[in-house]
Structure formats: structure tokens, C-alpha cells
Amino acid sequence: MDHLVLTTEADWQRLTDRLVLDDLHVGQRFTSMSHVVDTDQIKRFAAEFDPQPFHLDEDAAANSLFAGLVASGWHTAALTMRLLVTGGVPIAGGIVGAGGEIAWPRPTRPGDELQVVSEVTEISPSRTKPDKGIVILRNETRNQRGEVVQVLTATLLVPRKPQASTCPSNPTREDVVAGTNTHERNAFSLPGHRHD
Amino acid sequence: MDHLVLTTEADWQRLTDRLVLDDLHVGQRFTSMSHVVDTDQIKRFAAEFDPQPFHLDEDAAANSLFAGLVASGWHTAALTMRLLVTGGVPIAGGIVGAGGEIAWPRPTRPGDELQVVSEVTEISPSRTKPDKGIVILRNETRNQRGEVVQVLTATLLVPRKPQASTCPSNPTREDVVAGTNTHERNAFSLPGHRHD
């Protein structure tokens, strides 16, 4: 599978065949479904999480840096996650991120239809555990004009095919911390909680 | 002001004296108010933005990597923004971020009381515009045990005191793109929209 494009949630439901690390390759791409953002969604998210005038009030926003109402960058990030999780990137065990880099080259505005295009840029099997590894996924969130509103370069924990181990599991975060990969510094550590 | 700690929203309302770039210095710290995250908030955010079993269902979560229900990392990020905006860091013109690096060293769980401690790590006046600049702010989101659940190193656009210009304004994003600062590559560009 070089470039997965799902067009309905039903496609996604049928896709029972989730990917493990061994199924991925650098350059592999995925395109999510799309989501239209409206004024109500923007104001509702902002009221709860980012109550600043340029996200809440059209008149105040018109006189701001943005020259109009814009979504919180964290709203764009949250919607990007929804698109990844509901059809964007079908990883076995779910999308478990340890962190990443985020940039908002331009804001999301009311009426924008967002879609995420993801590309595998790096794959690092764990040095110490045969059943997991780290994948770097670069996710561009684009509006209906193809303009990029967010770039998220995410560090994901991804399970591997069962190898010597008789008990495959999701990655644990200690593995990652214990590893030598340069991205592993960002990863979770859950002291006192080991799965293997 | 070396370390601002607000204890009530009323304190914040009284703080009409917001900071411009010239008021900041490297090493300056701010501590936000706190927010208690409960199970309902975690599930509600997840249902809308990150519908994965370990954010939605206690039983499924108990058998996951996380060994219990956890908040989406994007929920932790959104709550961090709320804490910054409602009393964390009083920047003139609001908190306008162009991007940054984010890491979740451990998950947020039901009952966690989050608080954000922010530190100015870099201040870069714009090379080309006298009325704005970039500030790098490192924000640790901590739970009630002082454990760090998120580190966000954010690139913020911050206005300066009026200098030669007679018309102070918020930073525009072209300035940042036009600049030479290493962080400026992450910044907004709003073609066709200039404030000055």
C-alpha cells in the first residue's frame, strides 16, 4: 500500500487490517477524510480552551492581526488528530504519539475544509525490544485550496510483527527511553509500569 | 516581575498591565492557575477529537499500554493553552503562537490537577520591524504531584514598546518570515495582509 485514500467512514470500518511497523516504508503516504470547520465549532473550542478575542468574536477578530475570525491552533491540531484517528493512518494499536514539532503557517478560518496528508519519514525498530519501534510521520493539514494550515511532525510508537517473542504487545514507553534513537528523548516513560 | 503567580481569575482581571517584548527577560517565569481534569472531560474531548479506546472506555484502557483511562495529548495541550491564556502569561495582544515542539513524558489521568510553569528562554526583536519580535517560551504542564505531563516549547509573536513608529501594532507574520532568526521558519505568513 503506497498511498491510502479512504473516502467514507465505512471504508475505514472495513479496514480491519491495521499496519504494524514492518508494513511501513519511508515515503509511504496516507490521505485522511475531510472535515469542514464552521464558526460555531471555532467559538465553542475557543470558549473552552483558548478564549482570546480573535477566536471568539468577529468584530474583535476583524481588528486583530488575523483580520477575521480564526480557529485556535490547538483546534486545528485536535481536528487533525480526529482525521488521523478516523481514517488517516491505520496503525495497529492506535495512534500513540510521544510528541513532535508543530507549526501553523496560516490559520484555519470558518468554512475551511481540512484534510490531512501524512508521510512516513523515518522508521526505527527498537534496539532492545523486538516487538515495537518508532515511526516519524509528517502530517500536513490542508484547507480546500490546498494551503497548509498545520505541519505536525509526530513521533509515534508502533508495534512490530511478532518475532521471536511469543507475546506481541503494543510498545511500552520505557523501551523508547532506553533506546538510542535521536527521537527517543521525546518519548513517554511510565516508571513502575511494565508490560513485558 | 521575575515570577508571576496568580491565584484567582480576579487577580488576572486586575492585571491590565500586559507585557510587551521589552518587559521580558530570559529566565523570567510565570505560574498559571490550576485545572482539575475529570473522566467526563477526558471522554468528551476524546469523543470529538481523539476517539481511541484508551481515551474513551475504562475497561479498554485498563488493557492498553496506559493501564487505565488517559487524556488525549491534544487535550493536555488544549488545557495548557487555557491555563496560559487565562492567567499564565500576560502578553500584550494575547498569546499568538507560530508553532513549537511538544512532548508528553507521561499521560494526564482523571483527577489530575494541572498547572503550567512557563519560562522565557529566548527573546529576538525583529530585525526589520521595530514594533515586534519573537519570544521562545518553555511551558511545563505539571500534575498535582509535580510530574511533568507536557513540555511545550512555543514560538510566540510579541509586540514591542512603541519606538520610532507612531503607530504601535501587534506583530504581523511577514516580519517574522522576512527575518533571519532561526525560529522564524516556523512562523505565519499571511500574504496580502499587512498592518503597517
DSSP string, B51-111: --HHHH-HHHHHTSTTSS----HHHHHHHHHHHIIIII--BTT--EEEEEEEE-SS---TT
The confidence score (pLDDT) of residue B93 equals 86
Q: What backbone phi and psi angles, to 5 degrees, belong to A174?
A: -65, -35
Full residue range of the structural domain in which residue B126 is found: 9-159
Asked if the structure places residue B64 within a domain, the reply is yes
Kindly tell me if the per-residue pLDDT of B175 is higher than 70. no
The confidence score (pLDDT) of residue B6 equals 54
A145 and A179 both lie in a single domain: no
Kindly tell me if the per-residue pLDDT of A105 is higher than 50. yes
A49, B79: Cβ pair inside 8 Å? yes
Q: Which is nearest to B173 in space by CA: B189, B161, B185?
A: B189
In chain A, the number of structural domains is: 2
A177 and A109 both lie in a single domain: no
Quote the distance between the C-alpha of residue A104 and its chain's center. 14
The confidence score (pLDDT) of residue B181 equals 38
Task: Tell me the C-alpha distance between B48 and A74, whole Å.
Answer: 13
B27 and B52 both lie in a single domain: yes
Kindly tell me if the per-residue pLDDT of B107 is higher than 70. yes
The confidence score (pLDDT) of residue A183 equals 38
B65, A96: Cβ pair inside 8 Å? yes
Q: Which three cell numbers stand for residue B106?
A: 507521561
Asked if the structure places residue B137 within a domain, the reply is yes
Task: Tell me the C-alpha distance between A98 and A172, whole Å.
Answer: 11
B123 and B171 both lie in a single domain: no
**Facing A64 at nearest CB: one of B52, B100, B170:** B170
Give the mean pLDDT of B84-104. Answer: 93
Name every chain A residue with its beta carbon within 8 A of the beta carbon of B143: none
Residue in chain B lying closest to A46 (CA): B82
For B71, B77, B160, the CA distances from B33, given in Å and listed in that order, are: 19, 15, 26
B178 and B112 both lie in a single domain: no
**H helix count then E strand count, chain A:** 6, 6
Name every chain A residue with its beta carbon within 8 A of the beta carbon of B195: 65
The confidence score (pLDDT) of residue A93 equals 86
According to DSSP, the residues that pair with A140 across neighbouring strands are A117, A151
Strand pairing of A29-36 and B3-5? unpaired
Task: Tell me the C-alpha distance between B45 and A117, whole Å.
Answer: 23
Looking at chain B, the whole-number percentage of residues with pLDDT higher than 70 is: 74
B103 and B138 both lie in a single domain: yes
Q: The domain spanning residue B18 has which CATH number? A: 3.10.129.10
Helical segments of A97-144, H only: none
The confidence score (pLDDT) of residue A46 equals 98
A65, B195: Cβ pair inside 8 Å? yes
A55 and A140 both lie in a single domain: yes
Mean per-residue pLDDT of chain A: 82
A154 and A168 both lie in a single domain: no
Task: Tell me the C-alpha distance between B37 and A45, whole Å.
Answer: 16
Asked if the structure places residue A4 within a domain, the reply is no
A61 and A21 both lie in a single domain: yes
Q: Which three cell numbers stand for residue B105?
A: 513524558
Asked if the structure places residue B20 within a domain, the reply is yes
Looking at chain A, the whole-number percentage of residues with pLDDT higher than 70 is: 74
**Facing A52 at nearest CB: one of B48, B78, B95:** B95
Q: Which of A185-189, B17-21, B29-33, B94-98 has the lowest mean pLDDT?
A: A185-189
Q: Which three-class secondary structure state does DSSP give residue B178?
A: helix
The confidence score (pLDDT) of residue A130 equals 87
**Facing A81 at nearest CB: one of B49, B102, B189:** B49
Q: What is the DSSP string of B109-150?
A: -TT-EEEEEEEEEEEEE-SS-TTEEEEEEEEEEE-TTS-EEE
B103, A186: Cβ pair inside 8 Å? yes
Asked if the structure places residue B3 within a domain, the reply is no
Name every chain A residue with its beta carbon within 8 A of the beta carbon of B170: 64-65
B142 and B170 both lie in a single domain: no
B103, A99: Cβ pair inside 8 Å? yes
A13 and A62 both lie in a single domain: yes
B51, A82: Cβ pair inside 8 Å? yes
Name every chain A residue with its beta carbon within 8 A of the beta carbon of B105: 188-189
How many other CB atoms are found less than 10 A from the CB of residue B12? 16
Asked if the structure places residue B1 within a domain, the reply is no
B151 and B170 both lie in a single domain: no
DSSP state of B19: B
What are the pLDDT digits (tens) for A12-64? 444 456 899 999 999 999 999 999 999 999 999 999 999 999 999 999 999 98
**Facing A98 at nearest CB: one of B77, B103, B173:** B103
Asked if the structure places residue A2 within a domain, the reply is no
The confidence score (pLDDT) of residue B173 equals 46
Kindly tell me if the per-residue pLDDT of A73 is higher than 90. yes
The confidence score (pLDDT) of residue A61 equals 94
Task: Tell me the C-alpha distance between A29 and A140, whole Å.
Answer: 11
For A69, A174, B37, B106, B114, the CA distances from A189, given in Å and listed in that order, are: 39, 5, 21, 6, 18
